[in-house]
Amino acid sequence: MFACVVLCAPALAQEARPIAARVDEVFSRMATAQGAALWDQALALESLGAEAAPEIARRLDASPPQVKLAAAKALLSLQGADAQRSKAVQAVKDVLRGEGPRELRVFACELLSAHGLRSEVSGLKRSLDSITDPVVKIHLLKALRLRGRYGRASRMLRQFLRSDDFSVRCEAALALAEIGNIDAARELLSQLKDEPTPRGRRAKAFLELDAMVSKLEAFGGLEKESEVLKLREREIQRLKGKIAELQAALKEGGGAGPGADLPGGELMGELFERIRSTYVDAEKTKLEDLVDSAASGLVDHLDPFSSYMNQKTLEAFNSSIRQRYGGIGAVVQMDRKSGYMTIQRPIYGNPAYKAGLRTLDQVLEVEGTSTKGKTVTELVAVLKGPPGTPVNVKVRPFLGGPDRDVQIVRQEITLKSVRYDMLPGNIGYLQLSQFGHLATEEVEAALRDLEGRGMEGLIFDLRGNPGGLLSAAVEIADKFLDDDQLVVYSEGRKGTRYGMRQDDGGPAVRRRRLRQPKHPDYPLVVLVDENSASASEIVSGALQVHGRAELVGHQTFGKGSVQNIFPLQSMKGKAALRMTIAYYYLPDGRCIHRARDVETWRFTEQMRREIERWRQDGLINDAQADELEKRYRPQPGGVEPDYRVEQPELDRAKQRAYALLIEHDLLNQYIKTHWRAHKDTFHELAAWDGFEPSAYPDFDALWAEAQETLDEKGKEVFTRNDLRLLLRATVRRFAQDD
């Protein structure tokens, strides 16, 4: 008891001090803080809580610019400080409009980009003329576009690309990329991407992002599996002669005549001729590139899910829809500390697993070349290859043992979309990650196994599922419904072949419904969130409408549009048009689709992919990635759950505590030390630990080590149960290898 009193006394004394005195103390430290230390003090202000907000706001006007910014940032981040928000925003604007250092004015713009409301930011366009520093103006234009929805910002940023100052051009290019206009910045980003600098890494990241196509944007919402597999064989006869004539004329460098009888044909012909004959850089006037750009521009403005697919994109699409590739079968990631590639998870039964690779093993070399400093994309390209061919790697086992050379024979990898297990109380848990062409049979196999083990109720987890094939959605929903219960119908534009209502994806899918088995009427709960989209919304919505399941979680994404793939005869089937042709409707007539601003949506999706790439390449840890992803959450708009469950938001001190423990690798090192001696115990705890921290071997020693790692605020908020949760997740990760 005496020890507890002694240890707790400083914290109690600190808590007992008047809030004004504690705010004064932080403001004093901010006055001399530099760089990252300044923002550490902003976090210290936030940790004082909402009761400190009036005291912080009272000191704003008399504070120097750097203190004013940090204090304003704290107010804007504090929950319960709404009354002081206007004063905080005004303080940021004062720094922006002042004559202080460029760095602080740029920080002000970034705070507005992160926290500003449209009504707070849009009026700043009137300040543009008075700002003479081009870098500050660039960052303000970015804030105006992202938060103020100022349409002219993109055009004004493009003007800076013609600046005589190379650094200004670079800032403009990075700002354009951040607001989603990467095409305008591509040339400069390509020059920057190999620089060993922060701007070089940002440029490289944006270019890689642009090259990636998310599953949701590229593959969600296909009308029929049979159509996908046969699309390459179809022919489009309409306009064949006119398109062929236009292409032939363009190859000859002809004038505006070809295609002039088509809407805009004369304009396009003249543009092609002028560019190809006169533009200063001949490398950029290749016909194929111009045609790709023109076709993309024509389609991109329609909606986020319609796109022109050139040969490279179409080949990637066909490969993805098959859900098979030649490789070693492992999830890999770059380790932040060592710089080497690590095995995050070997896929059971696949070549890497059979060769003895396990979780967190380091891959030091691939085909004699060190993996250190490489990217995941570069290394995966080497690891993939034709089935039956070998790839040689050098591995350092995480759980101990000498480095060893391993030859792995690649095989065809099938991407599993189902994970399942039996929870206590005979409650089955089934997670479906996407509706691929194998999803129906995977779900069926999982249900049969769970039912054979005495399942009395099912939790069906569709969180984060971006969708996939309509046929798979209908067949999976049908497992829990009667044959005469409608799952979904679609309707397109009247007067087109898609304008007539089509139920459940068409007659072929309905026939398959009649042939497949049904499952018992046990209680069913479906988990959904803001990333559940398309086919996920069809299944969850249909089960909700018919009263077969109750939905728990968050409102879904709101993608209820149908895309079809049209091979382009003019490109000899090597390119295709992916176009929205109809909308989905639930059985009660609700359309789950939510219209979105194309540019904003694509930028949000790009940023989410960028964050995931940073995580994979070891640039940020899991806790940091989760925090960043919160800034780019998609706006929901689809199916509303029966029971809305808000995920508890960790306060910043606890988030920092989690991040510190992950950064210092405490949990993985604990596993490394204890796994072999307590393997059986860990497997039991992975299934059920009774919420008891002391069930884990040497937990008190781990707790003591965690306490040494945490800062003072972390020690206040981080509990033994928090550590238990982190440890159990780590134990389960290693247990799955066995």
Of 355, 384, 412, the last residue of a domain is: 412
Name the residue range of residue 448's domain.
418-608+630-644
Which candidate, 566, 592, 561, places its Cα nearest to that of 493?
Answer: 561
Same domain, 505 and 592: yes
Same domain, 634 and 663: no
Same domain, 593 and 447: yes
Neighbour count for residue 231 (Cβ, 10 Å): 19
String of b and e for 240-273 (b: at least 16 CB within 10 Å)? eeebeebbebbeeeeebebbeeeeebbebbeebb
| Strand, coil or helix: 498 | coil
Same domain, 425 and 407: no
Same domain, 587 and 482: yes
Same domain, 287 and 338: no
Q: Does residue 503 lie within any of the structural domains?
A: yes
pLDDT band at 496; cut points 50, 70, 90: confident
The alpha-carbon radius of gyration of the chain (Å, integer) is 29
Q: Domain with 476 in it: what CATH number?
A: 3.90.226.10
Same domain, 718 and 595: no
Q: Does residue 183 lie within any of the structural domains?
A: no
pLDDT of 499 above 90: no
Q: What gap in Å lies between CA 328 and CA 385, rounded to an integer?
A: 9
Q: What gap in Å lies between CA 354 and CA 680, rounded to an integer?
A: 22
Give the helix/strand (H/E) hosting 504: none
Q: Tens of pLDDT along 408-438?
A: 999 998 888 999 999 999 999 999 999 988 8
Q: Tens of pLDDT along 356-414?
A: 999 999 999 999 999 998 888 889 889 999 999 999 999 999 998 899 999 999 999 88
Same domain, 312 and 396: no
Global model pTM greater than 0.75: no
Q: Tens of pLDDT along 322-369?
A: 656 789 999 999 988 888 999 999 988 899 999 999 999 999 999 999
Same domain, 588 and 662: no
Predicted pLDDT of residue 597: 61
Predicted pLDDT of residue 215: 38
String of b and e for 321-351 (b: at least 16 CB within 10 Å)? bbbebbbbbbebbbbbeeebbbbebbbeebb
The residue type at 485: Q
Same domain, 44 and 127: yes
Name the domain count of the chain.
5
* Mean pLDDT value across residues 585-598: 81
Q: Does residue 473 lie within any of the structural domains?
A: yes
Q: Does residue 464 lie within any of the structural domains?
A: yes
Q: Does residue 277 lie within any of the structural domains?
A: yes
- Render 157-210 in DSSP notation, one character per residue: HHHGGG-S-HHHHHHHHHHHHHTT-HHHHHHHHHHHTT-SSHHHHHHHHHHHHH
Q: Does residue 437 lie within any of the structural domains?
A: yes
